[in-house]
Amino acid sequence: MKKLILAAAIAATTAGSASAATIYEGKGLTYKLKGDFQIQLRKDVGTDQKLDVEFDDLELKNSVIYDLGNDMKAFGQLDFGYKNAAEGKTDSSHLEEAYVGMQYGNVSVSIGQQNFAVDSFGVDEQLEDTLKEDQFDATKTSGNDVVRVDVNMDNFTLILTTELEAGSEKSADGKGVDIFMSTSVAGVELGAAYQNFDEDPSVSGDVDVWGVSAKYDAGFAEFGVDYSKADDGAVETDQYNLMTIVPVAKTTDLGLGWTKIEEDGSNDVSEWYANVVYKFPTQKNVSVFAEIADTDKDGVKMGYLTGMRVKF
């Protein structure tokens, strides 16, 4: 899940970020290509895990934007991931996002395969989570029958999504509605989200999830906290996240975090992590990183990883 608190999730603008390569621009058409390549040496948290080469992100994102005049734009996004191919799986590529939409001023509407509104929730900064990032991530954060509305004002972001109940079994992946809101008050970034989702509409039983979050940049460090709760009518699950990012140098950030999950009828479980990320001063899109993490489950050994990320 990629956290986008207080960032516009409008495809026409996010695709035009500074790190994207503009392949063509002219006659009202802009075509941009983004890449994100991350490979790790990783030993997962677990009872008998072994060191392995892991392909975290191997993505290419294609964005097409047409300027229609009168503050209107049409856009399309087509993203592929190649992690499965790198791991020797049968499918050489994986379609991650495929949608089209229209933007007018600060509002956009899009349809297709894309993230839900609640994917923008949370403060988690762990490189590789053993537990879920939050209770939205434990339920569902994307789909292929999604209608999405984004409203991005100067100090307010609103995202609404609905996953339609598909008529074809090949595309059916549940149905639901989501909302995410964020704003900034006295330097504190505040976020709130709600989701109602039914994984299988043919069987009764949906789940309600809600959450709140806060982030504050004190200059010497950034602090974040979030809380999310899921209720499926039989079991209630609460999750707490705390995180701190300390810039120990202009090129280096130290991240610390803690997660706790409390579920009815089950033992509570907690996880802590610490990571460090170094961005090369001449090329900030090139970074190296390392992380250690552990949970309080019995018999579990600490995990660790190190790797490199190159993006554009």
Q: What is the pLDDT of residues 215-227, one digit of tens each?
A: 999 999 999 999 9
In a domain, 295, yes or no: yes
Query: For residue 19, what pLDDT is reported?
Result: 65
Q: Which two tokens stand for residue 253?
A: 């950030």
Query: For residue 135, what pLDDT is reported?
Result: 98
pLDDT tens per residue, range 62-76: 999 999 999 999 999
Q: Which of 311, 282, 228, 287 is nearest to 60 (CA)?
A: 311
Q: pLDDT higher for 188 or 2?
A: 188
DSSP 233-267: SS-EEEEEEEEEEEEEETTEEEEEEEEEEEETTS-
Q: Which of 94, 58, 54 is nearest to 78 (CA)?
A: 94
CATH number for position 94 = 2.40.160.10
Residues, the chain = 312
The SS3 of residue 198 is strand
Range with the poorest average pLDDT among 45-59, 82-96, 119-133, 279-293: 82-96
Cα–Cα distance, 154 to 121 (Å, whole number): 19
φ and ψ of 104, to 5 deg: -130, 115
pLDDT at residue 170 greater than cutoff 70 = no
Helices (H) and strands (E) in the chain, counts: 3, 17
In a domain, 5, yes or no: no
In a domain, 3, yes or no: no
Query: For residue 84, what pLDDT is reported?
Result: 85
Cα–Cα distance, 138 to 127 (Å, whole number): 17
First to last CA, the chain: 19
Query: For residue 48, what pLDDT is reported?
Result: 75
Cα–Cα distance, 180 to 194 (Å, whole number): 7
Q: pLDDT higher for 200 or 209?
A: 209
The mean pLDDT of 160-178, rounded to a whole number, is 83
Domain count, the chain: 1
Total-model pTM: 0.89
What burial letters (b/e) apply to 162-186, b meaning 16+ CB within 10 Å? bbbebeeeeebbbbbebbbbbbbee
φ and ψ of 123, to 5 deg: -120, 0
Q: With pLDDT > 90 as the criterion, what percentage of the chain qualifies? A: 79
Do residues 98 and 112 make contact, with C-beta atoms less than 8 angstroms apart? yes
pLDDT at residue 92 greater than cutoff 60 = no
Q: Which two tokens stand for residue 184?
A: 């900034």
Alpha-carbon distance values, 171 to 95, 103, 106, 150 (Å): 13, 26, 31, 24
Cα–Cα distance, 122 to 2 (Å, whole number): 9
Q: Which two tokens stand for residue 141?
A: 């954060």
What burial letters (b/e) apply to 268-307, b meaning 16+ CB within 10 Å? ebebbbebbbebeeeeeeebebbbbbbbeeeebeebbbeb
The mean pLDDT of 254-277, rounded to a whole number, is 95
Query: For residue 2, what pLDDT is reported?
Result: 45
pLDDT tens per residue, range 4-62: 433 333 333 433 344 689 999 999 999 999 999 999 999 999 877 899 999 988 999 99
Query: For residue 137, what pLDDT is reported?
Result: 97
For residue 85, the enclosing domain spans: 11-311
In a domain, 223, yes or no: yes
Q: Give me the chain's average pLDDT, please.
A: 90
In a domain, 2, yes or no: no
